[in-house]
Amino acid sequence: MTTPTLSIRDLTVDIPTRHGVLRPVNGVSYDIAPGEILGVVGESGAGKSMAGNAVIGLLNPPAHIASGEIHLNGTRIDHLKGDAMRRLRGKDIGMVFQDPLTSLNPLLKIGDQLTETMLAHLDISAQDARKRAIAALEEVGIPGAAQRVDSYPHEFSGGMRQRVVIALALCAEPSLIIADEPTTALDVSVQAQIIALLKKLCRERGTAVMLITHDMGVIAEAADRVAVMYAGQLAELGPVREVLAAPVHPYTDGLMGSTPLASRGKDRLHQIPGAMPRLDALPTGCAFHPRCPRAQDDCTQDPGPRIADGAGRAACFHPITREAVA
């Protein structure tokens, strides 16, 4: 087996507060292979973005990695500090942010922002960097790239800007891209284009992608595998087709049931009752048990099996077996 591009082992992020320690990411483990797109889904506050920020070292204090390991291309990176982390994350990890309005500096020409990134990490001249900036813009589908390279961000539409952001993330040729809700701020038709673009470019270059989103449609469209998170823990992890078509964890099943589908007709949309627990008031046992239709006594006592320990696809005592559904 080849070395995964990104390997997270038992990652835990803590935020110490006056009322005790909050744990937005709690013992999460997953791998992303080169060229693979891993979709990370979950409700707001499930710890999706926190896990992403932990990987690139952009956790805002006092949040910090409490335990666990992060390996990038076989090198451990979670304990790197300062300079070493800086050099590494720009070169090897690219990031696509949610809002293309704020993720480009409004006062710098996009060409300057692209060349700044390349000059910081690649050993090339300024002219070469400019040529590559134009090439990068062409690659993400900006028409007239040679002219547009000298435009300011406000001269682009939202979708175009997100293309620029993707070019920016890819231009230093990283081995991993973290896309944190890259399509949330875009309208649906542009969404599909951006996802297709991201998918195509990463396939071509063998870049691994961590695609953080709460949109099941985007996951179905783009991801190879999907990791479902709930209250900081991994609920289910598996190939996207299997997980979406036949969810095993009751939470995933609930999520799928609450996604509007044209094929489902006019039935009322199913809801998961209740809301995700606050991080300072997690229930004992399995964090999902108060909302779980399949919960039994043991769920209220024991946190349940974990995927990393060999529980299989879902971290659940009473996973949905296909016979039960059928």
- Measured from the CB atom, the residue of 58 and 220 that comes closer to another protein is 58
Where along the sequence are the contacts to another protein (CB under 8 A)?
A: 56, 58, 86-87, 89-91, 93-95, 97-99, 102-108, 116-117, 120-121, 138, 141, 143-144, 146-147, 168, 172
- Measured from the CB atom, the residue of 106 and 265 that comes closer to another protein is 106
Query: What H or E segment, with its residue span, contains residue 227?
Result: strand 225-230
- Measured from the CB atom, the residue of 98 and 233 that comes closer to another protein is 98
DSSP string, 108-139: S-HHHHHHHHHHHHS---HHHHHHHHHHHHHH
- Measured from the CB atom, the residue of 104 and 276 that comes closer to another protein is 104
- Measured from the CB atom, the residue of 119 and 192 that comes closer to another protein is 119
- Measured from the CB atom, the residue of 95 and 272 that comes closer to another protein is 95
Least distance from another protein to the Cβ atom of residue 98, Å = 8
At a CB cut-off of 8 Å and minimum separation 6, what does 3 contact? 73, 74
Least distance from another protein to the Cβ atom of residue 91, Å = 7
Least distance from another protein to the Cβ atom of residue 117, Å = 4
Q: Token pair of 28, please?
A: 């999460």
Question: Position 119: which residue type?
Answer: L
Torsion sign (Cα): 191, 193, 197, 200:
positive
Least distance from another protein to the Cβ atom of residue 113, Å = 8
Least distance from another protein to the Cβ atom of residue 86, Å = 4
Instruction: DSSP letter for 154, please.
Output: G
Torsion sign (Cα): 149, 154, 156, 162:
positive
CB 10 within 8 A of CB 308: yes
Beta bridge mates, 40: 212, 227
Say how many C-beta atoms besides its own lie within 10 A of residue 262's C-beta. Answer: 5
CA distance 182 to 111: 21
Least distance from another protein to the Cβ atom of residue 39, Å = 21
SS3 category, 198: helix
Least distance from another protein to the Cβ atom of residue 136, Å = 14
- Measured from the CB atom, the residue of 33 and 177 that comes closer to another protein is 177
